Amino acid sequence: MNFYTHRHKHYCGIDLHARAMYGCLLDQPGTKLVHQNLPTTPEAFLRLITPYREDLVVAVECVFPWYWLADLCQQEGIAFVLGHALSMKAIQGGKAKHDKIDAHKIAVLLRGGMIPQASVYPAAMRATRDLLRRRCHLVQKRAELLAHLQNTTSQSNLPEIGKKLAYKANRAGVEAHFPDPSVRKTVEVDLALLDHYDQILRDMELSLTRSAKVHDGQTYARLQSVPGIGPILALVLFYEIQDITRLPRVQDFGSYCRLVKCAKESKGKRLGTSGKKIGNSHLRWALAAAAILFLRQNQLGKAYCTKLEHQHGKAKALTVLGHKLARAVYYRRTREQPFDLQRFVSA
């Protein structure tokens, strides 16, 4: 975890909400200059900080409405720090909690160099990343519909449909498989929603692919040189990583992908692990999926996974493979070289 340790003349902590925010301004000795509630508007924020703009830094917790404040600070030339929400919760816990206290604690952590930093995603690519995350949400809803169709068949104790309903061509006449009119209507609704989701997802994927080629087409293509990483997983890796230079070591990248267990020790005694939720869950999912797809029609990959199973056990082999794929992705980004399968399995 990186902490913001730069010294400034003024420190501003903001407890941000959708319609209101609480601001606390401290000077370098720690004296409260301003501590008040104000509406969540650019005008109100600029009025608050106007007398103290000389060498000012602003900090806010990483909650959903931070985009506009980060962009405003960038336009106004004000230093901005985005605090890691989960780590800040562990640091600033207390008996009482409300907006006024939270704003003061953020300002105090900022002044003391104890703000755990989260990455401020650049505005130029932020909307595309959010569209990609929305696509993942819609894919989950589509999967729920497919699962509901299978469960409906089992619930009615009917023979299996025998077709993979993920493909549109296999859905024709499926509702006739159910004799009960109400069940048939339920199935018709599910099939109609599936068709609608298919069309929406196709349009979203086309737009995302075009955006990736505009932002950095070479990097997007280089990610797809890794077996198991297709167009969609490459999009997730491309937009969730964004700037690889913010992770100076491959170990930092593995930790950011939630592939490293952090030890808890005290006086030489190991007390288990922690930090399972610190990192990027989207990268964790993408690399887990890539590890499974890596083994499809890949004889060298299957032999390599068998070797890992002998060393670590069958349950752990896929996790190790995902970690090694994460290292391969990191080096594809930093060295700008295509993937070499023979070198990967012999390393």
Kindly report the three-state secondary structure assignment for every residue of 186-217: HHHHHHHHHHHHHHHHHHHHHHHHHHHHHHHH
Q: Is the pLDDT of residue 135 over 80?
A: yes
Give me the pLDDT at residue 90, please.
65
Give me the pLDDT at residue 230, please.
93
Higher pLDDT, 273 or 295: 295
Q: State both tokens at 6.
A: 């730069």
Which range, 92-101, 221-230, 267-276, is most confident? 221-230
The tens digit of pLDDT for each residue in 209-234 reads 999 999 999 999 999 999 999 999 99
Which of the residue ranges 38-52, 120-134, 310-324 would you say has the lowest mean pLDDT? 310-324
Higher pLDDT, 173 or 89: 173
Taking the model in full, what pTM does it have?
Answer: 0.87
Average pLDDT over the chain reads: 90
Cα 153 from Cα 41, distance rounded (Å):
53
Q: Is the pLDDT of residue 93 over 70?
A: no
Give me the pLDDT at residue 343, please.
86
State whether residue 78 is helix, strand or coil: coil
Higher pLDDT, 45 or 347: 45
Q: Is the pLDDT of residue 95 over 90?
A: no
Cα 171 from Cα 119, distance rounded (Å):
44
Please count the CA atoms within 13 angstroms of the CA of 306 that sit on its side-chain side. Answer: 6
Q: Is the pLDDT of residue 283 over 70?
A: yes
pLDDT band at 91 (very low <50, low <70, confident <90, very high): low
Q: What is the mean pLDDT of residues 265-286?
A: 83
Cα 239 from Cα 285, distance rounded (Å):
14
What's the sign of the alpha-carbon dihedral 121, 127, 129, 133? Answer: positive
Q: Is the pLDDT of residue 92 over 70?
A: no
Higher pLDDT, 97 or 154: 154
Question: What percent of the chain lies above the pLDDT cut of 90?
Answer: 65
Strand residues in the chain grouped as ranges (E):
3-4, 10-16, 20-27, 32-39, 56-61, 79-83, 115-116, 262-266, 269-274
Q: What is the mean pLDDT of residues 123-127?
A: 93
Contact indicator for 132, 235 with CB cutoff of 8 Å: yes
The tens digit of pLDDT for each residue in 22-72 reads 999 999 999 999 999 999 999 999 999 999 999 999 999 998 899 999 999
pLDDT band at 182 (very low <50, low <70, confident <90, very high): very high
Q: What is the mean pLDDT of residues 266-287?
A: 83
